[in-house]
Amino acid sequence: MLIITLQYIPYNTDVAFLRIKQDVIDIPFYKITFFTHVYTAMFVLPAGLTQFSAYIRKHYAELHRITGWIYAFTVVILAGPSGFYMGVYANGGMISQIAFCILALLWIFFTAMAIVRAKQNNFKSHREYLIRSFALTLSAITLRAWKYILVFLFEPRPMDVYQFVAWLGWIPNLIIAEFLIHRFNNGHIPDNKLKKL
């Protein structure tokens, strides 16, 4: 993800993904939201990963708290809303647009609920919502993985690819997250194992 982000530094509007977005690049706020979304990805992934480290929580509680707030603030205030705005103009037409907008709304909701549950000292529910949130964060990676797989196996038309990966990029992630939460709640996954995910 860092390599992808670096393509847009400095402020480049004619590289990589933006080459196929020249028809919307000058729409008010699109550039702002795009670069907000791309640049904040550098913080969301590593900050989110630290939340699942039992070692960091135990030995560096303040770091856990700080990175947690960085993650939550970035998703709820910056990356989530900018992702929603970009979703309105997503490649692949309405099928893709609906998928990306739902993804953004769920991402904001799950992250906000993780904050609420932490404030309520309901850390079991806090962790469940954080797992869901981070599963959607990982869609930045899984979406690209699915794109390569589909192109390699089926060689579909470019816009068809976007319609598929718009959903495949996050729905399987969320299903896996719910599966892990369910197994944990039913005692199939030891607490220390889930903490290391």
Q: At which residue do the structure tokens 């647009």 appear?
A: 97
Judged by DSSP in three states, 67 sits in helix
CA within 13 Å, CB half, 29: 9
Are the C-beta atoms of residues 161 and 153 closer than 8 Å to each other? no
Are the C-beta atoms of residues 148 and 164 closer than 8 Å to each other? no
Q: How confident is the model at residue 168 (pLDDT cuts 50, 70, 90)?
A: very high
pLDDT of 113 > 90? The answer is yes
Length in residues, the chain: 197
Are the C-beta atoms of residues 69 and 42 closer than 8 Å to each other? no
pLDDT, one tens digit per residue, over 81-93 is 999 999 999 999 9
pLDDT, one tens digit per residue, over 24-70 is 888 878 889 988 998 888 889 999 988 988 889 889 999 999 999 99
Q: How confident is the model at residue 101 (pLDDT cuts 50, 70, 90)?
A: very high
pLDDT, one tens digit per residue, over 118-155 is 999 999 999 999 999 999 999 999 999 999 999 999 88
Would you tell me how many other CB atoms lie within 10 Å of the CB of residue 158? Answer: 11
pLDDT in the model for residue 16: 67
Are the C-beta atoms of residues 90 and 97 closer than 8 Å to each other? yes
pLDDT, one tens digit per residue, over 180-192 is 999 888 875 555 5
SS (H, E, C) the chain: CHHHHHCCCCCCCCCHHHHHCCCCCCCCCHHHHHHHHHHHHHHHHHHHHHCCCHHHHHHCHHHHHHHHHHHHHHHHHHHHHHHHHHHHCCCCHHHHHHHHHHHHHHHHHHHHHHHHHHHCCCHHHHHHHHHHHHHHHCHHHHHHHHHHHHHHHHCCCHHHHHHHHHHHCCHHHHHHHHHHHHHHHCCCCCHHHHHCC
pLDDT of 196 > 50? The answer is no
pLDDT of 197 > 50? The answer is no
Q: Containing H/E element for 189?
A: none
Q: At which residue do the structure tokens 């904040």 appear?
A: 40
pLDDT of 195 > 60? The answer is no
pTM for the full model? 0.87
